[in-house]
Amino acid sequence: MQPMTSDSRTAVWKCSYASDLQCSDCGKRYSIHEVHTYCPDCQAPLLVNYDLEAARQHVDRDVIHSRVKGMWRWHEVLPVLDPRFMVSLGEGDTPLLNLPRLGGSFNFKQLFVKDESSNPTGSFKARGLSAAVSKARELGIQKVIIPTAGNAGGAMAAYAARADMQALIYMPKDTPLANMEESRIAGAQVVLVEGLISDAAGMAGVKAREEGWFDLSTFKEPYRMEGKKIMGYELAEAFDWSLPDVIIYPTGGGTGLVGMWKAFAELDQLGWMKNGKRPRMVSVQAAGCAPVVKAFDSGAAFCDFWTNASTIASGLRVPKSFADALILRDLHESHGTAVAVTDEELLEAQRELGRMEGIFAAPEGAATLAAFKKLVETKWILPEEQVVLFNTGSGLKYLA
């Protein structure tokens, strides 16, 4: 990592400009040097604050562009204060691919996919777990636990192994086999449970409280989202410091959607954007488990628990996100929307991505193409707009 130069006489270098944590609801502040989970007063996620004014003075975005590729080249806006504690497997800087055949079939010239399948462990979960495990390591945590619908477990196992931490994973029995095996091969203890990720989360929470494991559940610690938000920084850079008109994102726990919206606000404060335009955010869920869509359509500020959740897209089988209020707030702020697609629709979209563009997307990623087609049909998206779909993982992990 090279020092930032503020002028010809003074070299200013700082690993991170992270300053403190703040409750997303009541605004109460917490120290970033201490172990925290979520706000104990209002049970809301904690968000990481940065001294962006200082970063604006000392960090050159073009220097970041010239660094060795990977998520941690953005270390100034990531939460680890000492670079010795960064745990990396080469995550980040995934390709932004134009989809000329698919886009052309709808008369769209600027349809793209951000393909997260090239991340370590085959999904975007690597970003969040790299950040969370790194910060846990910096805070002296040795035992980490997570409930997972699939990919987060494998990612946590890999990064915990890299950091020499103990890892314990609770996952539903119908989780894809690849997720079970990648977790075990990295040395994690895997406990299979009857039911959904919500049931796994309940068991993991009890285990964490009783035996002192640190819970890395989505939004129940502050740092996974920080790794995911770098997808937003990468998009801005790829579009020459502007942003697309629409981002279509598969939503289970919602860390990527909320994280990118946070990134766009930070980019504005850093003064790195050519204009203040931000994308309309689209949350995509499966018709068999669509709490965000239901709440958005009804104008609710929170999601109800979705009973009898069912979909082949295991990452979308999340009956209620801990950050439901943040997801809905960001959708409204962006003038976005929420769309549900059936399993049949996402499977057809998966075949189209493979047949027309050579991309074997995870079911969750394919759901974004299915949603795109619905939004084109209703003219919510227009052919002259720039649209980015997110493929969050590799379809190879779902072969069973």
User: pLDDT tens across 382-396, in order?
Assistant: 999 999 999 999 999
Phi, psi at 199, each rounded to 5° = -70, -40
Start-end of H helices in 289-397: 291-298, 324-333, 343-357, 363-377
Dump pLDDT digits (tens) for 194-214.
998 899 999 999 999 999 999
Q: Which residue's entry shows tokens 């950050």?
A: 323
Indicate the CATH number of 125-215 among 1.25.40.20, 3.90.260.10, 3.40.50.1100, 2.60.120.10.
Answer: 3.40.50.1100
- 174 and 207 Cβ atoms separated by less than 8 Å: no
Distance between CA 44 and CA 159 in Å, rounded?
Answer: 26
Every domain range in the chain assigned CATH 3.40.50.1100 = 96-122+224-398, 125-215
Residue 274 CB burial class (10 angstroms; 0-12, 13-18, ≥19): exposed
- 199 and 176 Cβ atoms separated by less than 8 Å: no
- 243 and 274 Cβ atoms separated by less than 8 Å: no
Distant-in-sequence, close-in-space partners of 66: CB < 8 Å, separation ≥ 6: none
- 78 and 64 Cβ atoms separated by less than 8 Å: no
Dump pLDDT digits (tens) for 325-355.
999 999 999 999 999 999 999 999 999 999 9
* Count of beta carbons in the 10 Å neighbourhood of residue 116: 28
Nearest CA to 198 among 316, 311, 319, 307? Answer: 319
The token pair at 102 is 């698919």
DSSP 3-state of 96: strand
Q: Residue 387's beta-bridge partner residues? A: 111, 246
Average pLDDT, the chain: 95
The token pair at 62 is 């073009």
pLDDT of residue 400: 76
pLDDT of residue 5: 37
pLDDT of residue 6: 34
Element housing 229 (H / E): helix 224-238
Distance between CA 336 and CA 117 in Å, rounded?
Answer: 25
Rg over alpha carbons for the chain, rounded to the nearest Å, is: 20
pLDDT of residue 150: 85
Regions of the chain short of the pLDDT cut 50: 1-11
CATH class of 96-122+224-398: alpha beta
